Amino acid sequence: MDIAAIEVLGLLSQLGYRLTAPRRAVVSVLQAAGAWLTPEAVHARAAKIYPRIGLVTVYRTLGLLTELELAQRVHLEGGCHGYALAEVGHGHHLVCQRCHRVVAFSGCDIDGLVEKLETETGFRVEDHVLELVGVCPQCQG
């Protein structure tokens, strides 16, 4: 279940963050998108809501939302990334490489793999991101 924009703003407020017009614009854009957006795309759309918004403000807001786990960074080819609002709880994504649609899915039975990797490498895994990239049904047709 996606977090609604109103929930994100409510959580920001509860955590003591100001609900500035630029923050509201960024959250609104992410909610309306239904797909991941690059920071530049967020900026272009947010500027229609709040014309004075700067690209640096968009990056800072996306960083804050990601840090608070209210948004998730979607990794793309070439080291680039986009952003989408997070799901409630731990989430995973299917990402369409053509239309950029992001679909959340639940469940990832990788505990055995994590334990094996910890044993083999000595790493202590604290979290993970599972992102599967492909082509959605609409783009296949």
Average pLDDT over residues 99-126: 82
Average pLDDT over residues 116-122: 92
CATH label of the domain that carries residue 40: 1.10.10.10
At 2-53, the pLDDT tens digits run: 456 678 888 888 889 999 999 999 999 998 887 788 899 999 999 999 999 9
The model's pTM is 0.67
Nearest CA to 71 out of 131, 16, 2, 133 is that of 2
**Three-class SS state of 37:** strand
Residue 89 has pLDDT above 70, yes or no: no
Quote the domain boundaries for residue 66: 5-140
- How many distinct structural domains can be found in the chain? 1
DSSP one-letter code for 19 = -
25 versus 126: the higher-pLDDT residue is: 25
